[in-house]
Amino acid sequence: MIAFWATAGVLSAAAALLVLMRAARAATLAEPADPMPVLYRRQLAEIGELADRGLLGAAERKSAEAEAARRLLDAADRPSEVWSAASPRGVILLGAVSVPAALALLLYLGLGAPGMADQPFEARLTHWRAVSPTELSPPQMAAVLQRLTRERPDDPEGYRFLALAEGASDNPAGAARALRQAVRLAPDRAELWEMLGEALMLQAGGQMTADARAAFNQDLKLDPKSAAARFYLAQGQIAAGDRAGGLAAWRALEADLPPDDPRLPRLRRAIAEAAAQPAPAAGPALSADQLTAIRGMVAGLAARLRVKPDDPDGWVRLVRAYAVLGETAKREATLKDARVRYAGRPDILDQLSQAARTEPMR
Amino acid sequence: MIAELGAFALALALAFALAQLVLSAAGRIRRSTVLAAAGEGAALAVFGAVALAFAALIHAFVTSDFSVANVAANSHTEKPLLYKVAGAWGSHEGSMLLWCLALTGYGAAAVAFGRSLPRPLKASMVAVQGALATVFLAYTLFASNPLARVADPPVEGRSLNPLLQDPALAIHPPFLYAGYVGMSVVFALAVAALIEGRIDAAWARWVRPWTLAAWSLLTVGITLGSFWAYYELGWGGWWFWDPVENASFMPWLAATALLHSAIVTEKRGALAGWTLFLALAAFSFSMLGAFLVRSGVLTSVHAFAVDPTRGVLLLIILGVTSGAGFALFAWRAPKLAQGGVFAPVSRESALVLNNILLAAATTTVLLGTLYPLIREAVTGEPISVGPPYFNLTFTPLMAALAILLPAGPLLAWKRGDAAGVLQRLWVAILIALAAGLLAYALVSPRKAFGAAGLAMGTWIIAGGIAELIERTRGFRVAPAESLRRLVRLPRGAWGMTLAHLGLGVFVLGACFETGWKAERAETLPLGGALDVGGYHLVLDAVSDVDGPNYEAERATIRATRDGAPICVGQPERRFYPAGGQTTSEVAICYRGASHLYIVLGERRETATTPVWLVRAYWNPWATLIFLGPVIMGLGGLISLSDRRLRLGVARRRELPA
């Protein structure tokens, strides 16, 4: 705190000194010389050069020179001001530097956080590593584990813990990234593949993706009994339109699970829901918050395309987004615009039509 | 402590900027050299303080100090060091501080280099700069404090927009801001001249180096931005007439006009009012640009997500500062002395025509940029004013300018000789026509626009060279004598010639690329191929890459021409988990001045294998588009180094003569 205020004082003093030194020097400086003669001489030289190049006849040269001379005389005739080099009273100069310094102090006290220490990441990390893990929040834990995995890059267990911490911090992308390292180091651990599959699905907002499916398949290959893998793969099957196949896989899983398995009620609920669903079910329903967020992103995309319309991918995404949201009118309007814009691009037109056919979600 | 010292330094800067304004104004009014000098000292102190604040911000970014709100919002521990440093100006608050650094830096430079300015003019100028610094520092400190702290810092930062994570972020904004804000000196000089009620050849001479410096830096800055957009956005284009691009282009056009009109004011004492007007307009356009990107009225990679309050404040700053400048202009300009007369065919007329065309071009860009915004604000209905509008309005104006350009430097002041100029340029006319006709006849597909552009670019270049030959009396005196004249050519002349040649090079590239670019997009499985511009591209492999703060798919695409291997491009599609965004890294194969430009798009699963959307462009002569403006900027800097421009230095050399 003292060091801070001392340094701040030194800074203010340095600024004040700069002002005073400059003022003190001014009294000894002569008035800058009149630049007009120099300009005049230079203009004469340029006139000569033009004449030399044959761009100016003799008569023009004369009149140009006369004009330059007239301007020189004009400038010389103008009355020049007399400035005083006398030093103003000391009070004024003192005020000139102390008032700003005081103002700076007031401004800073109003806007700054006096004495607040820097908090560089390294120092905070060192502190988190020193305290007991139970006192850390999941993101802090993840930061510590991140560093640990960097120090021990060959330990799959480190990555697994990192993935758990990232998952608890609502960062499925970070979890998936850690798990990808983990399965690279320990490719025969089924539960790591299962975690990876789940993380990838979370990252995709609950949707089954090709990468997630590959992870679950790997999990099943290593552990044919893996309930999670069987559950999600079947869910993916249903989402992709194969309701009968998915339901059959779920029923088989239901039969294989021991009767006291805690996952059974959830599975049975899923089976009941899927069986009652008339249309092919998409992924899990989105919450109102998620929907609002998605609508916001779509509006942002639409706005961006208005400004930068030359973005075929963007148009395809926008059409697909309206289709998914079930906003048919907007979908059609956007589709029409985009079709006109890319009339000469069959590849884009194909993608647009495909996007427009996307099923709306529930 | 460092972050807080930075915050204190910023407060100190604001207080001393106010002192700069008051002391310089008092010095001017009381005709006191001591008070005026104290104001100058304050200008130096302000710059020092802002530089300290800026260093503190960079320190916070480098050490990932997330207790600084701006760092938490725009940085991440995994971000490479270069982007941590450059990230300091990747956000609204940080770039505002960069703006202030440039503004006060120019203020300090004007104090340091302005020794030959008459005292009253200099004191007024320093006072105006103090006012500008006060306004912008106050805005930064009160509405966009980059060093504001948070009590409970997050564990990890939200990271910087991945589109900005590119080495260009380290150089494009500093150049651009140095250009934008450099116009503030010109603005201050103009307001000071209006206050003094005096504008003469010497004033035009003082304005020139500052305009040149700002113009050169702005030229390079815009070009860097254009190149960055070209390779980063993956849209295969280099100019989109995006409002933000236009925002940087308008001050450039105004400054270009100013550079030319200031010559007339200096040499003939004419166009004084117009030159003043342009000097005010150039910085006003800079501020308009700052308002457009920071107000939230635009959606663009440049637009900072900011709340409307900040936009309104910036609009007020824009209105007050440039409004005051123009009001002063309306009041005082009519009283300025009129300059010499000139004939319709003369160097002056050529420069006036240049200014009319540039001003008209600026106006079309201004209308095309603001009209959609105003209309959307009024009716709520968005419209898009895209390239078609600018092609119809801006391009013909520029074409007229290009056609007239080579004649200008060959015309004499006061009364020129049109026949003599044509006589000196006939070889250039023939070369240009031949180039255009050849291009029209030989290049397929046949494009009249491309051929016309080629002729025009050739015309500017050939005309520039003709002027150089003319100046050195080439082919009329012995080669040794010509060479001697060439070597002794003043740097100002070299600068002009280079700038004009650079424009010619740009026109060549722009017209050729626009006329004959080819584009293909296809979804390819591994081993799939597409053909573009005579090249055969095969998607050989796609691999996963684990970057420092992103994951990516990297494609290996082999290009061949008639079976001969040409190059291997590795475009990437990157995913940045911290912000959840995807960007594409373009692969460009440079073939002479032309580019084979390859973009990797989304991966899609089909029933059997994954496929990737691959887009490829053949952009002929694209390098010239970026090379031309760099040559122009270089010309500006060479002209700036001309000793004759610096009255103070030159005087000592010339007096003994």
- The residue written with tokens 């940087």 in the block is B248
| Residue A46 maps to a domain | yes
User: What pLDDT, on a 0 to 100 scale, did the predictor assign at position B314?
Assistant: 87
Q: Does the CA dihedral B146-B147-B151-B153 come out positive or negative? A: positive
User: What pLDDT, on a 0 to 100 scale, did the predictor assign at position B236?
Assistant: 61
pLDDT in tens, A282-304: 455 666 777 777 777 788 888 77
Say if residue A58 is exposed, middle or buried (CB neighbours under 10 Å; 0-12, 13-18, 19+): exposed
Q: Are residues A99 and A171 in the same domain?
A: no
- Alpha-carbon span B104 to B91, nearest angstrom: 20
pLDDT in tens, A92-104: 888 888 999 999 9
| Secondary structure (3-state) at A360 | coil
Q: In which band, very low, low, confident or very high, does the pLDDT at B410 lie, cut at 50, 70 and 90? A: confident
Q: Which residue has the higher pLDDT, A45 or B531?
A: B531
| Residue A97 maps to a domain | yes
Sheet holding B610-619, edge to edge: B518-524, B610-619, B594-605, B587-591
CATH of residue A352's domain is 1.25.40
Q: Is the pLDDT of residue B584 over 80?
A: yes
> Six-digit token pair at A356?
């427009």
**Average pLDDT taken over every residue of chain B:** 87
Q: Is the pLDDT of residue A32 over 50?
A: yes
User: What pLDDT, on a 0 to 100 scale, did the predictor assign at position A304?
Assistant: 79
> Six-digit token pair at B179?
């250009």
- Identify the DSSP state of A135: G
Own/partner long-range contacts of A138-141 (Cβ < 8 Å, ≥24 apart): A138/A165, A138/A168, A138/A169, A139/A165, A139/A169, A139/A171, A139/B154, A139/B155, A139/B156, A140/B155, A141/A165, A141/A168, A141/A169
Mark which residues 330-369 of B lie under 8 Å from A by CB.
Answer: 337, 340
Say if residue A347 is exposed, middle or buried (CB neighbours under 10 Å; 0-12, 13-18, 19+): middle
Q: In which band, very low, low, confident or very high, does the pLDDT at A281 lie, cut at 50, 70 and 90? A: very low
Q: Is the pLDDT of residue A355 over 60?
A: yes
Q: In which band, very low, low, confident or very high, does the pLDDT at B643 lie, cut at 50, 70 and 90? A: low
CA distance B444 to chain A (A): 19
pLDDT in tens, B23-60: 999 999 999 999 999 999 999 999 999 999 999 999 99
Question: Are the Cβ atoms of B66 and A121 closer than 8 angstroms?
Answer: yes
pLDDT in tens, A174-226: 888 899 888 888 888 888 898 998 888 888 778 888 888 888 888 888 888 88
pLDDT in tens, B128-141: 999 999 999 999 99
Domain map of chain B by residue range?
A: 1-151, 417-516+624-635, 518-619
pLDDT in tens, B230-272: 888 766 678 888 888 888 899 999 999 999 999 888 888 788 8
Question: Are the Cβ atoms of A107 and B65 closer than 8 angstroms?
Answer: no
Q: Which residue has the higher pLDDT, A139 or A205?
A: A139
User: What pLDDT, on a 0 to 100 scale, did the predictor assign at position A268?
Assistant: 86
Q: Which residue has the higher pLDDT, B385 or B288?
A: B288
Nearest-by-Cβ selection for B654 from A38, A46, A171: A38
Question: Are the Cβ atoms of A32 and B648 closer than 8 angstroms?
Answer: yes
Mean pLDDT, residues B295-304 taken together: 62
* Percent share of chain A, pLDDT over 90: 12
Question: Are the Cβ atoms of A118 and B34 closer than 8 angstroms?
Answer: no
Mean pLDDT, residues B593-605 taken together: 88
Nearest-by-Cβ selection for A114 from B4, B268, B522: B4
Question: Are the Cβ atoms of B63 and A118 closer than 8 angstroms?
Answer: yes
Q: Which residues of B touch A308 (CB under 8 A)?
A: 240, 242, 300
Q: Which residues of B touch A75 (CB under 8 A)?
A: 200-202
Q: In which band, very low, low, confident or very high, does the pLDDT at B654 lie, cut at 50, 70 and 90? A: very low
Q: In which band, very low, low, confident or very high, does the pLDDT at B642 lie, cut at 50, 70 and 90? A: confident
B19 interface with A at CB cutoff 8 Å: yes
Please tell me which residue of chain B has the smallest CA distance to A301: B299
Say if residue B378 is exposed, middle or buried (CB neighbours under 10 Å; 0-12, 13-18, 19+): exposed
- Alpha-carbon span B145 to B17, nearest angstrom: 17
pLDDT in tens, B318-358: 999 999 999 999 998 887 766 667 778 888 888 889 999 99
Own/partner long-range contacts of A164-169 (Cβ < 8 Å, ≥24 apart): A165/A138, A165/A139, A165/A141, A166/A142, A167/A199, A167/A202, A168/A138, A168/A141, A168/A142, A169/A137, A169/A138, A169/A139, A169/A141, A169/A142
Nearest-by-Cβ selection for A38 from B3, B268, B651: B651
Q: Is the pLDDT of residue B645 over 60?
A: no
Q: Which residue has the higher pLDDT, B199 or B556?
A: B556
- Alpha-carbon span B30 to B160, nearest angstrom: 51
Which domain-ending residue is among A224, A250, A266? A224
Q: Which residues of A touch B51 (CB under 8 A)?
A: none
Q: Are residues A7 and A105 in the same domain?
A: yes
Q: Are residues A92 and A162 in the same domain?
A: no
User: What pLDDT, on a 0 to 100 scale, did the predictor assign at position B309?
Assistant: 78
CA distance B240 to chain A (A): 8
User: Considering the entire predicted model, what is its pTM?
Assistant: 0.84
Mean pLDDT, residues B110-135 taken together: 92
Mean pLDDT, residues B528-555 taken together: 90
Q: Which residues of B touch A118 (CB under 8 A)?
A: 1-3, 60, 63, 65, 67
Q: Which residue has the higher pLDDT, A230 or A54?
A: A230
Q: Is the pLDDT of residue B411 over 90?
A: no
Q: Which residues of B touch A105 (CB under 8 A)?
A: 11
Residue B93 contacts by C-beta under 8 Å, 6 or more apart in sequence?
B70, B140, B144, B145, B146, B148
> Six-digit token pair at A188?
């025969």
Which domain-ending residue is among A172, A202, A224? A224
Q: Are residues A293 and A332 in the same domain?
A: yes
- Alpha-carbon span B84 to B76, nearest angstrom: 8
- Alpha-carbon span B215 to B227, nearest angstrom: 18
pLDDT in tens, B457-505: 999 999 999 988 888 877 778 888 888 888 888 888 899 999 999 999 9
Give how far Cα A155 sits from Cα of A79, A146, B124, Å.
85, 12, 69
Q: Which residues of B touch A80 (CB under 8 A)?
A: 118
pLDDT in tens, A57-75: 777 788 878 877 887 777 7
pLDDT in tens, A141-178: 899 998 988 888 888 888 989 988 888 888 888 888 89
Q: Are residues A297 and A210 in the same domain?
A: no
User: What pLDDT, on a 0 to 100 scale, did the predictor assign at position B652?
Assistant: 42
Residue B388 contacts by C-beta under 8 Å, 6 or more apart in sequence?
none
- The residue written with tokens 């979600």 in the block is A361
| Residue A349 maps to a domain | yes
Helices (H), B443-564: 448-471, 479-487, 491-516
Q: Is the pLDDT of residue B593 over 70?
A: yes
Q: Is the pLDDT of residue B16 over 70?
A: yes
- Alpha-carbon span A295 to A287, nearest angstrom: 12
Question: Are the Cβ atoms of B386 and A23 closer than 8 angstroms?
Answer: no
**Average pLDDT taken over every residue of chain A:** 83
CA atoms lying within 13 Å on the CB side of residue B145: 23
Range of the domain at A352: 288-356
Q: In which band, very low, low, confident or very high, does the pLDDT at B149 lie, cut at 50, 70 and 90? A: very high
Nearest-by-Cβ selection for B12 from A15, A113, A303: A15
Q: Is the pLDDT of residue B656 over 50?
A: no
Q: Which residues of A touch B44 (CB under 8 A)?
A: 18, 22
User: What pLDDT, on a 0 to 100 scale, did the predictor assign at position A332?
Assistant: 81
Please tell me which residue of chain A has the smallest CA distance to B43: A19
User: What pLDDT, on a 0 to 100 scale, did the predictor assign at position A356?
Assistant: 79
Say if residue A354 is exposed, middle or buried (CB neighbours under 10 Å; 0-12, 13-18, 19+): middle
Pick the CATH number of B518-619 from 2.60.40, 3.30.70, 1.10.3470, 2.60.98: 2.60.98
- Identify the DSSP state of B583: E
> Six-digit token pair at A253?
């899983």
- The residue written with tokens 């120092």 in the block is A123
Q: Is the pLDDT of residue A79 over 90?
A: no
Q: How many helices and strands, by DSSP H and E, does chain B display? A: 19, 10
Q: In which band, very low, low, confident or very high, does the pLDDT at B536 lie, cut at 50, 70 and 90? A: very high
Q: CA nearest A56: which of B46, B94, B189, B410? A: B410
Question: Are the Cβ atoms of B19 and A96 closer than 8 angstroms?
Answer: yes
User: What pLDDT, on a 0 to 100 scale, did the predictor assign at position A255?
Assistant: 86
Question: Are the Cβ atoms of B34 and A108 closer than 8 angstroms?
Answer: no
Asked which of A156-160, B120-124, B266-270, B533-537 is least confident by mean pLDDT, the reply is: B266-270
Which domain-ending residue is among A175, A197, A224? A224
Q: Is the pLDDT of residue A230 over 50?
A: yes
- Alpha-carbon span B11 to A100, nearest angstrom: 10
CATH of residue A196's domain is 1.25.40.10
pLDDT in tens, B605-623: 777 788 899 999 999 999 9
Q: CA nearest A303: which of B409, B280, B372? A: B372
Q: Which residues of B touch A97 (CB under 8 A)?
A: 19
User: N- to C-terminal Cα distance for chain B?
Assistant: 58
Q: Are residues A92 and A155 in the same domain?
A: no
Distance of CA B217 to the CA centre of its chain: 7
Question: Are the Cβ atoms of B650 and A38 closer than 8 angstroms?
Answer: yes
pLDDT in tens, A115-136: 888 999 999 999 998 888 888 8
CA distance B186 to chain A (A): 19
Mark which residues 108-127 of B lie under 8 Å from A by CB.
Answer: 115-120
- Identify the DSSP state of B167: T
Question: Are the Cβ atoms of A19 and B48 closer than 8 angstroms?
Answer: no
Backbone angles phi, psi at A203, to 5 degrees: -60, -35
| Residue A28 maps to a domain | yes
Q: How many domains does chain A have?
A: 3
Give how far Cα B339 sits from Cα of A50, A195, B89, B257, Å.
20, 81, 45, 18
Size of interface A-B (CB pairs under 8 A): 277
User: What pLDDT, on a 0 to 100 scale, did the predictor assign at position B358?
Assistant: 92
